[in-house]
């Protein structure tokens, strides 16, 4: 997936809104584009993490039988260490990896 190759900040950073606005011509369109892409990335990450953790799922509901699985902990730590989906989306927008399409204009033509 493309989010693994993006170099995005793992902490909160201040962004210059002029750079974001220049990508689409409107700051609000830029924010909507980042929001939609962030939701896509978040869903992809969640699906991938869920599928990996399903390998360790047990069918027993007994609390006494729950034990720590080292591999499961390492997988969880890896995903916790990834940059947030919003940071990845902002970096993709700044790197021109997000394509913004205006559907209203296409429908009118």
Give the tokens for residue 71: 């591999």
pLDDT at residue number 55: 80
Within-domain flag for 108:
no
- Structure confidence at residue 75 (pLDDT): 87
Predicted pLDDT at 9: 83
pLDDT of residue 8: 84
Provide the pLDDT for residue 66.
54
- Look up the domain containing 48 and give its range: 2-56+65-102
For residues 49 and 103, give the distance between their C-alpha atoms in angstroms, rounded to a whole number: 33
Contact residues for 35 (Cβ-Cβ < 8 A; gap 6+): 89
- Range list of H helices, 1-109: 17-24, 27-54, 70-81, 85-94, 103-108
Residue 107 lies in a domain: no
Residue 16 lies in a domain: yes
CA angle 99, 104, 105 (to 5 degrees): 80
* All residues at 6 or more sequence positions from 72 whose CB lies less than 8 Å from its CB, including other chains: 53, 56
Per-residue pLDDT of the chain (109 residues; tens, 9 = 90+): 456 666 888 888 888 999 999 989 999 999 999 999 999 999 999 999 999 888 876 666 555 545 667 888 888 888 888 899 999 999 999 999 888 887 776 556 5
Does a structural domain hold residue 34? yes
Residue 109 lies in a domain: no
Selection from 88, 102, 83, 4 nearest residue 38 by Cα: 88
Q: What is the reported pLDDT for 10? A: 83
Residue 98: inside a domain: yes
Domain count, the chain: 1
What pLDDT score was predicted for residue 38?
95
């Amino acid at each position: 997936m493309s989010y693994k190759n993006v170099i995005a900040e793992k902490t909160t950073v201040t962004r210059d809104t002029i750079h974001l606005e220049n990508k689409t011509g409107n700051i609000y369109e830029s924010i909507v584009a980042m929001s939609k892409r962030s939701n896509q990335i978040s869903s992809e990450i969640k699906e991938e993490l869920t599928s990996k953790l399903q390998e360790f799922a047990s069918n027993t509901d007994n609390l006494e039988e729950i034990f720590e699985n080292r591999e499961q902990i390492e997988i969880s730590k890896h995903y916790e260490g990834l940059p947030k989906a919003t940071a990845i989306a902002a970096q993709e927008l700044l790197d021109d990896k997000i394509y913004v399409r205006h559907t209203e204009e296409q429908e009118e033509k």
